[in-house]
Structure 1
Amino acid sequence: MRITVLGGCGAWPVPDQGCSGYLVEHGGFRLLIDPGYGTFQALLRTTAAERVDAVLVSHGHPDHCADLNPLLRARALGPDPCAPLPVHSLPGALGPVLALDSPHMLATAYRLAEFTAGHRFAIGPFTVDARCTPHFVPNAAVRLAAGGSTLVYTGDSGPSPQLDALAAGADVLLAEATFVERVVPDSDSPHLSTAWQAGRCATRTAVGRLVLTHLWPGTDRSAARSAARREYRGAIDVAEPGLTIEPG
């Protein structure tokens, strides 16, 4: 399994990187997870639009799915016809982004495959387990397994026993860390996480490596890493474009 970060900024893109976006590859299969604002150009620096084999979206906020639109446009309107792209999401999550164009324009570009959190399913060579975790809209944290390696991605999530159960023993935990030590405002604390909380989760679940992502624009990356380090002694990365990890 090979994980390439396309973007790791929360809420909106900044000049040096887009929002959430991750390319996960195994056995020649390319799975794009969360094509958020500003990630399509980063994807094109890694592979061609027509070489993406499937998409998985954690939830419907645009910083996690807005660039599904240019990806589908490139596949539908480009010179080489593409097979419909399987797009996996929770029910109804992608309605707004899929409605950006007239239905007939992208009708042959994708095949929507909605899943229910709590069930196991397959995407190419990946076995996927999904759990609902707390956020402002329905969010699916996912555990991907292939070739003896495991990746757990939180999407956007507050602390949750469901997340702890999903992450147990994973090789890599790709964890939302919007804030460094304290969620602001306090009323949002059930729905978002900090780098410090991500470190605690990584220790509780004995993961092999922690990758902090979805940092609020302008956050000091070294401060986020230091907050996580107080709770977790394993390897820690902060997601930024081009970061590549091969678990195991």
Structure 2
Amino acid sequence: MRLTVLGGCGAWPAAGQACSGYLVEEEGFRVFIDPGYATLPRLLELMGAADVDAVLVTHGHPDHCADLNPLLRARVLADEPAPPLPVHAPPGALEAVLALDKPRMLAAGLAHHDLVPGRPVELGPFRLDTFDLPHHVPNAGLRLTGAGGRVIAYTGDTGPSGELLALAKGADLLVAEATYPEHVPDEDAPYLSSARDAGRTSASAGAGRLLLTHLWPDTPPEPALAAAAASYGGELSVAAAGVTVDLP
């Protein structure tokens, strides 16, 4: 089971970077999670658009789903169009990005499925469990369990929630939003997290590794790493394009 970071910037892609985007692979099955701004070109450095087997979208903000549009275009407009792509997202999350083109243009390339917390989904060798986590818009925390029992948990963007411990419990890898190092401004405190929050969640849940993501663009990683390390003693890093994590 391998996770490859395609991008990890929050809000917009910094120069030479991309927003949230992750590729998870096992047994030849490829899941593209959160195709945010500028992630598709990085994905295409690794594989063709037709090689993606499923897409998961945590929520409808464009830094997490904007590149679904060019991904679908690349599949539908190819000389040999790819089969419909299963895309799983919270209800209503894809309305804006799918409206970028006339519905009939991309309809044949998309098999749209709603993510429902408490309703597991089988994706190739993976079991997907989703959790309702607080954000400015509906947000689905994702827990992917591979055929060998390894677990990758991903928060999307989230404020404080008791569901985070269930999402991350015993995960081999937790990918956690950490927009701010220490403290989230009051107006965003119900909807976003800090690296310090992520460290505490990882420690309490017994996560094996922690990958901090969604840092504010052009901010250095060191303050976030230090804030998370104050409570989490496991392996710790920041999501940057090209980072890979192998879970044997």
Q: TM-score, normalised by structure 2?
A: 0.98
Aligned pairs for 1:134-213 within 5 A: 134-146=134-146, 147-184=148-185, 186-213=186-213
Deviation for aligned residue 1:115: 2.1
Runs of at least 5 residues in structure 1 that lack an aligned partner in the other structure: none
Matches of 2:219 and 2:122, distance apart in 1: 36
**Cα shift readout 1:76-113 (whole Å, capped 9, x = no counterpart):** 11122210000001111101101100111111111101
Deviation for aligned residue 1:223: 1.2
- Between 215-224 and 32-41, report the one with greater CA deviation: 215-224
2:240 corresponds to 1:240: yes
In the other structure, the counterpart of 2:5 is 5
Deviation for aligned residue 1:52: 0.3
Matches of 1:247 and 1:211, distance apart in 2: 13
In the other structure, the counterpart of 1:105 is 105
Matches of 2:166 and 2:189, distance apart in 1: 20
* Aligned residue type for 1:29: F
Report if aligned partners of 2:221, 2:238 keep a CA contact under 8 Å in 1.
Answer: yes
Report if aligned partners of 2:141, 2:154 keep a CA contact under 8 Å in 1.
Answer: yes
In the other structure, the counterpart of 2:230 is 230
Matches of 1:136 and 1:118, distance apart in 2: 21
* Aligned residue type for 1:76: V
Matches of 1:4 and 1:31, distance apart in 2: 11
* Aligned residue type for 1:167: A
Deviation for aligned residue 1:116: 1.1
Deviation for aligned residue 1:16: 2.2
Q: TM-score, normalised by structure 1?
A: 0.98
* Aligned residue type for 2:80: D
- Between 164-173 and 116-125, report the one with greater CA deviation: 116-125
Deviation for aligned residue 1:231: 1.0
Matches of 1:121 and 1:187, distance apart in 2: 34
Deviation for aligned residue 1:118: 2.3
Deviation for aligned residue 1:187: 1.8
Matches of 2:115 and 2:168, distance apart in 1: 20
Matches of 1:22 and 1:86, distance apart in 2: 16
Report if aligned partners of 2:142, 2:153 keep a CA contact under 8 Å in 1.
Answer: yes
Deviation for aligned residue 1:211: 0.1
* Aligned residue type for 2:113: A
Report if aligned partners of 2:9, 2:215 keep a CA contact under 8 Å in 1.
Answer: yes
* Aligned residue type for 1:161: G
2:80 corresponds to 1:83: no
Matches of 2:218 and 2:181, distance apart in 1: 11
* Aligned residue type for 2:240: E
Report if aligned partners of 2:115, 2:140 keep a CA contact under 8 Å in 1.
Answer: no
In the other structure, the counterpart of 1:133 is 133
Deviation for aligned residue 1:195: 0.5
Aligned pairs for 1:15-34 within 5 A: 15-34=15-34
